[in-house]
Amino acid sequence: MKNKISVATPVFLGNEKKYLMDCLESGWISSLGSYIDKFEETFAKYIGTKYAVAVSNGTVAIHLLLKALNISEGDEVIIPDLTFIATANSVSYTGATPVFVDSECNSWNISPDNIIKKITKKTKAVICVHLYGQPCDMKNIMRICRQNKIYLIEDCAEAHGAEFLNKKVGSFGIGGTYSFYGNKIITTGEGGMIVTNNKRLFFELRHLRDHAMSKTKRYYHTEIGYNYRMTNLQAAIGLAQLENIQKILDKKRHIENEYNKYLCNIKEIELQNTFADRKKVCWLYSVLIKSNNQKNRDNLMKYLETKGVDTRPFFIPMTQLPPYKSNNKNSNALLLSNQGLNLPTSYNLTDNEIEYICQNIKLFFSNKRIK
């Protein structure tokens, strides 16, 4: 392969340029404009919720939702240890304490059994992360939150369109959050969204997002708010992307099936599981490299890099990072982190490129057997 194969690149299949030009010609390029309302309304309808609030990125989506729920210092929020740091940081921004829970080895997601063990009188919410496009065990997590009268928040940054029991993730808890970063299933460059069915929460989210300024008295601010607004330009791109989300998801599913065809019989590789009650989506093509340490995974990544193939490891558990360092290791999260590998999954990835990547993986394992 002459050109490097990237892990993920954005794709523009429809009206992105048309809608952007409309913004430029109208002059509505900032945080007011018709595309923001259209994007919010269309996204809420797609997820199956009553309301959606567009924000500037996925991290502030979580932070704003937590603030609107009055989560603050002295409170605890349970999150998975294995996630991107934005989930933990968003909790910390409020002054609350993130409490880290181990993963299930079969789904790679937060373990319901371990959630139960970490609930205290200070627990105000659970944030479940639908990691690498795989829905969490929503039935059990919802039951736990309901029995303990705590909020359920869904971090869907990697799972646009994924479903549990034929219902889209993001629609189960008090609110769901999404990221539209450039490598996500659909993108606005930067950007995020909060979805909810709670009318009071919807208005509070919008209020806090816009500097907490009164809707009836200009420049009168009722509390400390935030400038977490999305621009009309971003929303224009997002609306065009959303119009083609099923086409993007279908192509990514094809990519996943092609990888599975070549890699399913390599004994050193464990594929991502599927579950009868869940419909996962392929954000990145994610596998585990079976080993007791991360050396073999890292060596494979280095080898693929010499062949022009870009890869990414799994996230590092929060309890292994300086801001949240802990001696209480979550063994499953650590194992998954050491073994996890993400392969290229861009929309424009060809079948020939997938075959090339898989041939090189097979060659690596044939020459360097895991000891």
Q: What share of the chain is helix, strand, coil (3-state, %, to 5)?
A: 40, 20, 40
pLDDT, position 2:
56
Whole-number Å distance between alpha carbons of 253 and 283: 9
pLDDT, position 293:
72
Across-strand partners of 286? 342
Same domain, 282 and 363: yes
- Structural domain includes residue 11: no
Whole-number Å distance between alpha carbons of 98 and 106: 24
Residue 52 CB neighbours (<10 A): 23
What DSSP element (H or E) covers 248? helix 245-263
The CATH number given to whatever domain includes residue 119 is: 3.40.640.10
Query: Are 69 and 125 a contacting pair, CB within 8 Å?
Result: yes
Whole-number Å distance between alpha carbons of 114 and 350: 41
What DSSP element (H or E) covers 252? helix 245-263
pLDDT, position 349:
97
pLDDT, position 134:
98
Whole-number Å distance between alpha carbons of 259 and 308: 17
Q: At 332, list the tokens.
A: 């499953």
- Structural domain includes residue 191: yes
pLDDT, position 370:
43
pLDDT, position 160:
98
Q: What is the mean pLDDT of each run of 10 residues along the chain (371 residues)?
A: 85 97 94 95 98 98 98 98 98 98 98 98 98 98 98 98 98 98 97 98 97 93 96 98 98 98 95 97 97 86 97 97 93 96 98 98 80 41
pLDDT, position 368:
63
Same domain, 81 and 207: yes
pLDDT, position 371:
41
Same domain, 206 and 275: no
- Structural domain includes residue 92: yes
189: left (phi over 0), alpha (psi -120 to 50) or beta: left
Domain boundary among 213, 242, 271: 242
Q: Which amino acid is at 94?
A: T
Q: Which of 200, 225, 210, 198 is nearest to 67 (CA)?
A: 225
What domain range includes position 70?
16-242
Number of domains in the chain: 2
